[in-house]
Amino acid sequence: MATFFGEVLSVFSRAVEEDEDDLSDNEEDEQIRRELEEKRVVHLHWNPEVTECLKSGNKLKCSDFILAVGPNAARFLSVHALTSANWDTVGHSSLWNERNQTTTGQTSVEPACVFHRQKDNPSVLICQVTCYIAEDQLFQWTEKVFDCLQHRQLNVTVLSDSSVAEYKAADYLHCSSAPFLRSLHSSTYNGKSVCPSLEQPNIFTGLPAAVLSHCEVHRIPAVVYQCYSDVLGADSVTMETYNPVLTSLGKSIQLDPSPSTDVLRKFSRTSNIQSNLYI
């Protein structure tokens, strides 16, 4: 290119430089995306016996899978079932997200998603989940867990905690009667529900919804019991709201319908209640 005075200047294409910069940025973004996806993978860790069974191409024989999501649902099963010596811890899952910082390599942290199997009847499996599972990890968790279980004659029961603020009702006084129980079940579930069905336009979300959807697609009998409470932490009154479920769970597992006061106090004692209300 020549100037007005005849001076010849070399020409550089800014478009080429910008394209190279964009390509470099895209590669860097893709690398970060891959690393983040790998970090958010859900991992299942089983004991040697179960691991050997799964490696041989077999799946766990499971007639009843009982899932408790949330501190009160998990403690309810601890109080009424797991306090006996009739259960073995057979595995746990680990995952990382913005609200759950537990990583695979941390062994000092107590797992927040644990699997227990009944000794007398190994086909009964209980899972307690007290950690947050992000939306993009729900499908992963559900697929990986159910891929380990035989679907034939499998029945699924889910107990889930939820804030009463998530419940929609025309009558405010109805919400003031918290805690209360609502249920939804898959089309193949033939059991009798122990509480009213969830009214429209309310919906289940999170892990209970992912599990119920999976069971509906794969035609697995499943029922979800969700407790709406105004208390987010462990609370004995909220735990007692699940008591009607004892009648249906008692058909598959041995339960203690009247646990001792010491046991109730142990599992209903709340640690430091975290709130930013007055910060």
Task: Report how far residue 279's alpha carbon sits from residue 214's, in angstroms, rounded to the nearest whole number.
Answer: 41
* Lookup: tokens for 100: 């759950």
- Which segment, 18-27, 70-79, 254-263, is predicted with the most confidence on average? 70-79
Task: Report how far residue 256's alpha carbon sits from residue 59's, in angstroms, rounded to the nearest whole number.
Answer: 30
Pair 92, 43: CB distance under 8 Å: no
Which residues are CB-contacts of 110 (< 8 A; sequence separation ≥ 6)? Answer: none
pLDDT in tens, 212-247: 999 999 999 999 999 999 887 888 888 889 999 988
Greatest Cα pair distance, the chain, in angstroms, is 101
Look up the pTM and report it.
0.80
> How does strand 124-129 pair with strand 64-69?
parallel
With tokens 């046991």, the residue in question is 263
pLDDT in tens, 61-91: 999 999 999 999 999 999 888 887 789 999 9
% of residues, the chain, pLDDT over 90: 53
What does the pLDDT average to over 169-179?
A: 71
What does the pLDDT average to over 258-279?
A: 48
Task: Report how far residue 226's alpha carbon sits from residue 182's, in angstroms, rounded to the nearest whole number.
Answer: 5
Average pLDDT over the chain, rounded to an integer:
82
Structure-model confidence comparison of residues 256 and 98, the more confident one: 98
- The CATH code of the domain at 41-97+110-267 is 3.40.50.10900
Q: Where are the domains of the chain?
A: 41-97+110-267
Pair 140, 41: CB distance under 8 Å: yes
